[in-house]
Amino acid sequence: MKKKIKYWIIIIGIQVLILSGISIFAISVGTTEISFITILKTFFLKQTQTSEYNILIGLRVPRVMISIAIGGALSLAGTLLQGMFRNPLVEPYTLGISGGASIGVCITVFFKLSSVIGIIAYPILGFIGAGIVIIIVYTLSIKSGSLKSNNMLLIGVMISFVSSSIVMLIMAMSKTNDLHSIIFWIMGSLDETNTALIKITILGSLSGLAVSCFYCLDLNAFVLGEENADLLGINTIRTKKVLFITASLLTGLSVSIAGIIMFVGLVVPHFMRLIVGSDHRILIISSFLGGASFLTLCDVIARTIISPLELPVGVITGIIGGITFIYVLSRKKQVVL
């Protein structure tokens, strides 16, 4: 047991170092290159009257912080759902939450609500849309008196299809400028500088991590099946409720802030499971850190690959995540949860 704990500490330490290195790299590269020495002088010597300080504090540091929070949240949500459903192909967007958020944002663009409420209309309406879908899925799934995982998954998939159709309907009726805004948001973007939204995202992400760690042993029991988990004394109904709500809120928060960023919640938990195993005591934390590193790195690529233009980060995560997932599946004969 001591060897296992020591191994876990080493794994987490390595991931923290990787995330730190990627974060430093992310704030140093861009249209204006900022050296590591300049970054140290800016922060530790309090050189606030420089252009580098304005770039770091005003643009790059907030972007890195939100990429860490959202990457960790999406990966964590994927880990919870895959453990709960015992299916490595389930991801945060399977339950239709992204579709609900997309409808909210499309309504905001179509009716130009941002001119009334302000730019904050996008995350507010997006989160409301995601929240409505969460309520619908939960209500329909528990209608029979018990929260059945298969019913929840099927209902979520169907709602996702319906939401996609509604989004396409709104896009078909939208003007050219509005259509461009909708498409760019759907592809995902981490260009958020609102301090309040960044703080809410970070707090929500860390809160989800804390709740998930509390239920790590319950998730380990779920690997054996719900009936065996019941025999072990796990309140499976309560656990599924808490995990579903936690994963849904993490997904809804991420989508409402940054749009639809695919594959983070699918690839990272799957990949980390191959490295650290299926014990959720380490898998939860490892997936959170892995998702934060993956999304931060993808955002750097999106900002710099065709600089000074910027690609939607969802395009990069889709390409890298898809290729990585296909490669991993081709090398593994069986996926073990």
In the chain the domains, ranked by start, together with CATH numbers, are: 2-331 (1.10.3470.10)
pLDDT higher than threshold 60 for residue 335:
no
pLDDT higher than threshold 90 for residue 202:
yes
pLDDT on residue 145: 59
Instruction: Determine whether 334 is exposed, middle or buried from the number of CB atoms within 10 Å of its CB (0-12, 13-18, 19+).
Output: exposed
Place 10 in a pLDDT band, splitting at 50, 70 and 90.
very high
DSSP code string of 14-73: HHHHHHHHHHHHHHH-SSS---HHHHHHHHHTT--SSHHHHHIIIIIHHHHHHHHHHHHH
Question: Helix 280-304 to helix 61-85 angle, to the nearest 10 degrees?
Answer: 140
Q: Which residues contact 33 (CB under 8 A, 6 or more apart)?
A: none
Which is nearest to 90 in space by CA: 74, 66, 67?
Answer: 74
For 172, the token pair is: 């078909």
Residue 92: DSSP 8-state: G
Mean pLDDT of 206-231: 89
Q: Is 206 helix (H, G, I), strand (E, B) or coil?
A: helix
pLDDT higher than threshold 60 for residue 21:
yes
Residue-averaged pLDDT of the chain: 86
DSSP code string of 127-154: HHHHHHHHHHHHHHHTTTSS--HHHHHH
Express as a percent the part of the chain with pLDDT over 70.
94
Mean pLDDT of 237-266: 88
C-alpha distances out from residue 287 to 209, 224, 305, Å:
10, 21, 26
Instruction: Tokens 């050296």: give the residue.
Output: 35
Contact call for residues 213 and 243 (beta carbons, < 8 A): no
Instruction: Determine whether 325 is exposed, middle or buried from the number of CB atoms within 10 Å of its CB (0-12, 13-18, 19+).
Output: middle
Q: In sequence order, which ranges of 215-310 are alpha helices (DSSP H)?
A: 216-222, 226-231, 236-258, 264-276, 280-304
Residue 187's identity, in one-letter code, is: M
pLDDT on residue 337: 54
pLDDT on residue 336: 46
Place 332 in a pLDDT band, splitting at 50, 70 and 90.
low
Q: What angle do CA 176, 301, 252 make, to 5 degrees?
A: 60
The string of pLDDT tens digits covering residues 122-168 is: 788 888 888 888 888 888 877 655 667 777 888 888 888 898 899 88
DSSP code string of 96-115: SHHHHHHHHHHHHHHTTTHH
pLDDT on residue 15: 96
The string of pLDDT tens digits covering residues 88-126 is: 888 888 888 888 888 888 888 888 887 787 778 878 888
Better-scored residue on pLDDT, 83 or 224:
83
The string of pLDDT tens digits covering residues 277-324 is: 889 999 999 999 999 999 999 999 999 988 778 888 988 998 988 888
Which is nearest to 26 in space by CA: 299, 316, 327?
Answer: 299
